Amino acid sequence: MGPYAPEELLACVIARLLAGARHAAIGASSPIPASGCFLRRISDPSFRVSLQQRRAHNPFTEGSRELFDLAGQGRIDVFFLGGAQIDGAANINLVRAEGRRFPGSFGAAYMYRAVPRVILFREEHSKRVLVPKVEFVSAAGDPQALLTGKALFSWQKDRRRFRLESFHSEDDIRASTGFEYDVSPSLKRTPAPSEEELQLIRTRVAPEIARDYPDFAKRVWGIN
């Protein structure tokens, strides 16, 4: 196993979470979820990926409302949401925290309810982000999972609590998480990307990502 970037590991985890999905849509500024989706599509060509803000080849012809209309009909089964804050009840906050203003809620309030498999994704894993209770609920719902730069949690809908499934950081997860959560009896280290996954990411996913996220592709893969 050669060295790999943290972004490459996260893309692999996302690709594995997408097993069985038919159609994922990706909102603004989400290069890692997009990388995971493109990787997944290599092993399942029937898996459709729609990027909301492409620089070219926009998948929609009814303007920016079409994404929400598709979701309302159940034609999208995976969507990614993040947050300035995420709490232990899976609420997300994209509006304001600790006196600071963030961009806003985008379509999150609606997509969280309309899309059956929402994956919460945030690279920063800290008590500042993962809080007991968000200051503003932009959106509420039942996610499939919460993935951070340090760990993967599943969501227990009946208990309304997260469960730690795997970790990919040596840091103390409990000490860097602001909310209470359960721990899977089969807690493990997140499997590293395989040689094959890494090769696919670098040769096939990276050039595609570079078209819509040039700064990200330059930073992670050195593509210009």
DSSP codes joined into one string, 186-215: EEEEPPPPPHHHHHHIIIIIHHHHHHH-HH
Residue from 19, 22, 28, 127 in contact with another protein (CB under 8 A): 28
Shortest Cβ 196–another protein spacing (Å): 30
Q: Which residues pair with 153 in a beta bridge?
A: 146, 164
Site string for another protein, 65-84 (x = CB under 8 A): xx-x--xx------------
141 forms part of the interface with another protein (CB under 8 A): yes
Minimum CB distance to another protein, residue 54 (Å)? 9
Q: How far is the CB of 93 from another protein (least distance, A)?
A: 9
Q: Does 107 bind another protein (CB under 8 A)?
A: yes
What residues contact 48, with CB distance under 8 A and at least 6 apart?
Answer: 22, 23, 24, 41
Q: How far is the CB of 69 from another protein (least distance, A)?
A: 8
For the chain, what's the residue count?
224
CA–CA gap between residue 221 and residue 224 (Å, rounded): 9
Judged by CB under 8 A, the chain residues 148 through 167 that form the site for another protein are: none
Q: Is there a contact between 164 and 181 (Cβ–Cβ < 8 Å)?
A: yes
Of 2, 3, 46, 61, the one binding another protein (CB under 8 A) is: 61
Beta bridge partners of 50: 25
Any contact of residue 108 with another protein (CB under 8 A)? yes
Which of 106, 116, 126, 202 binds another protein (CB under 8 A)? It is: 106
- Which 110-139 residues touch another protein, going by CB under 8 A? 110, 113-114, 136-139
d(CA 130, CA 39): 28
List, in sequence order, every residue forming a beta bridge with 55; answer none if it has no partner. Answer: none
What is the distance between the alpha carbons of residues 50 and 196, in angstroms, rounded to a whole number? Answer: 25
Q: Which residues bind another protein (CB under 8 A)?
A: 28-29, 53, 55-56, 58, 60-66, 68, 71-72, 91, 94-96, 99-110, 113-114, 136-141, 213-216
